[in-house]
Structure 1
Amino acid sequence: MIREASAAGGKAGYTESSPELEQWLARHIAQGFGADALVLSMLRSGYDDAFARQAVAAAFAQDDAGAVPAAAMPVARGKKAPAAAAESEPAVYVAHGGDRAIPILFRLASPRIKLFQELLTDEECDALVALSRGRLARSPVVNPDTGDENLIDARTSMGAMFQVGEHALISRIEARIAAVTGVPAEHGEGLQILNYKPGGEYQPHFDYFNPQRPGEARQLSVGGQRIATLVIYLNTPEAGGATAFPRVGLEVAPVKGNAVYFSYLLPDGKLDERTLHAGLPVTSGEKWIATKWLRERPYRSEA
């Protein structure tokens, strides 16, 4: 039976599964595409809205559990699905003025690390730098015992903090971050812009909070634990400034517009200590980055 597609202006949508569709979904889930992006791609290929959402949910269930329950994948009869759907690449986010896919240059499964190519345009990078120049101040860290923000020698950057949605550009970027990470925008802390001069670095550290330390435990009341970080490179330094993961043996070169994402909350609720990371010293020129920390609950909600 062919159902009416709710997003297709009354036109009939395709409601038939196929091995090609299932393979296409599995491949793109493995590449890190989010559920909304996959549903959007299926709708553009002519699938029924409800069927697309059920198929994507079933595919994610298979990815998590290794097998799809028999009742999870809809039983569909009707038109044969268009062959183009199995070949098209889904749009990862809907940008202002049109859709643009964000390539993933590499993806590690354990720990979960991804490198997005050109998450921001050159113009967006330059605009963020310009917005931050007037409010740069020495970057603090949270004191693990008191919860206060202190200056330490291990972190030598200058930084500027922005509230969520404070500027139209920031709001657009935050929506894009939510699309590519699958974490709702309201779970994000404010965007932080950082500037490192020659010799500037951030020595190895974790971004998540240690609930055993009273100062860090205080942070859990305003959105829960941090679960992931996205570091966006706003320029390409002349030399140095890579993001290093010493327990993985990985260094990510800072390239303007690219962004490295890493998640540190494991399925069992434990925190992944392999996400220890550092901003290596800038040896020539300067480095600009934007950092987005993501929480398990809406940020600044009641604990």
Structure 2
Amino acid sequence: MADKRFFPSLGLLVTAIAVVIAWAVSQTGRWPLEWLRMQQFDSSGSEHPGPEIYMFSEDPVVVYVKDFISAQEAAHLVQLADGRFTPSPMWDNDGKPHIDKAYRHSMTAKLDRTDVIIKGIEKRAISFPFYKHFGDFMPIVVQNYGISGQYRDHYDWFDDVHAVGGNIASTFFVYIHANCTGGGTNFPRLTPPDDERWCEFIDCDRPFDEGVTFKPILGNAIYWENLHEDESGHKLTLHAGMPVTTGNKMGMNMWTWKVA
């Protein structure tokens, strides 16, 4: 597979991008739907469109990334996970796992972070201008949801950071297989946008009082920050993997661990 990297001068654009965004917010009071289209180069040096970044929320920070990974990368991740799945655990606030299939019904596989494709994806993730270097990525995992598979409302952060030695500061959730109906990622405490362009990514047919449900779309990702500045958990990040009604969904989690 061709090695892909972002435009080498991307870092020089961050300041200019921040100025443009600040101006847009001051004029409209809202974040622009399309924040930045990044460009990629393949191994031959040819330029082609890269991920599109959309700022959904400022507090908590929630960013949607279209085309975060390619279909070829997604297929590679699915292949890596094959044969490694075990029942997905629940995690207590003291960091102890247990199985509760009534609440979380899925399978989980840990991936080898030495894999060259995973290394490239991690490098791509930390190159985004919105990403904050709170710490290192935890072991990469894939969640496999078959029919009726779901994960009810939960947080990614822990209450007792001293018991676990830190906390999950931010989350990337990437759809690597989305041959399904249902299976959206619901944030019940986020306010749905009034811009219809978001309906490409969000299930706009769901009732307003159910919050925001992102559709499972192959290659796309949701990024959010789990903690306030004082490092307490942000309760608006409550989210759920909605039940899969037909087919199969797989998502890859990239969690950033911040040491206490």
TM-score normalised to the size of structure 2? 0.73
Structure 1 residue aligned with 2:174, among 232, 235, 241? 232
Matched, 1:209 2:158: yes
Matched, 1:177 2:116: no
Compute the displacement of 1:148 (Å). 2.3
Question: 2:228 maps to which residue?
Answer: 266
Question: 1:5 maps to which residue?
Answer: none
Question: Aligned equivalents of 2:114 and 2:134: distance in 1?
Answer: 13
Question: Aligned equivalents of 1:162 and 1:285: distance in 2?
Answer: 23
Question: 1:149 maps to which residue?
Answer: 97
The amino acid of 1:174's aligned partner reads: E
- Residues 281 and 39 from structure 1, CA distance in 2 versus in 1: closer, same or farther, beyond 3 angstroms? same
Q: Is the 8 A contact 2:80 2:111 kept in 1?
A: no
Question: 1:294 maps to which residue?
Answer: 256
Q: Counterparts of 1:1-303 in structure 2 under 5 Å?
A: 38-41=10-13, 56=15, 91=38, 101-145=50-94, 147-153=95-101, 154-163=103-112, 165-180=113-128, 181-184=130-133, 187-211=136-160, 217-219=162-164, 221=165, 224-248=166-190, 249-297=211-259
**Over aligned residues, Cα RMSD in angstroms?**
3.0
Q: Which runs of 5+ in 2 are unaligned?
A: 1-7, 26-35, 191-210
**Identical aligned residues as a percent:** 28
Question: Aligned equivalents of 1:267 and 1:97: distance in 2?
Answer: 43
Q: Is the 8 A contact 1:41 1:90 kept in 2?
A: no
SS in 2 for 1:274: helix
Superposition misfits of 4+ residues, deviation over 4 angstroms: 92-100
- Residues 192 and 185 from structure 1, CA distance in 2 versus in 1: closer, same or farther, beyond 3 angstroms? farther
Please list the CA deviations of residues 258-303 of structure 1 after superposition, one character each: whole Å capped at 9, or x if unmatched. Answer: 0011112223433210100000000000101101111234xxxxx5
The amino acid of 1:230's aligned partner reads: F
Q: Which structure shows the bigger proportion of residues in helix conformation?
A: 1
The amino acid of 1:218's aligned partner reads: A
Question: 1:85 maps to which residue?
Answer: none
Greater CA radius of gyration, 1 or 2? 1
Question: Aligned equivalents of 2:44 and 2:138: distance in 1?
Answer: 26
Question: Aligned equivalents of 2:176 and 2:257: distance in 1?
Answer: 23
Q: Is the 8 A contact 2:110 2:139 kept in 1?
A: yes
Q: Is the 8 A contact 1:93 1:101 kept in 2?
A: yes
Please list the CA deviations of residues 168-191 of structure 1 after superposition, one character each: whole Å capped at 9, or x if unmatched. Answer: 111111111111252449611111
Question: Aligned equivalents of 2:69 and 2:134: distance in 1?
Answer: 17
TM-score normalised to the size of structure 1? 0.63
Q: Is the 8 A contact 2:38 2:52 kept in 1?
A: no
Q: RCO greater where, 1 or 2, for CA within 8 Å and sep 6 or more? A: 2
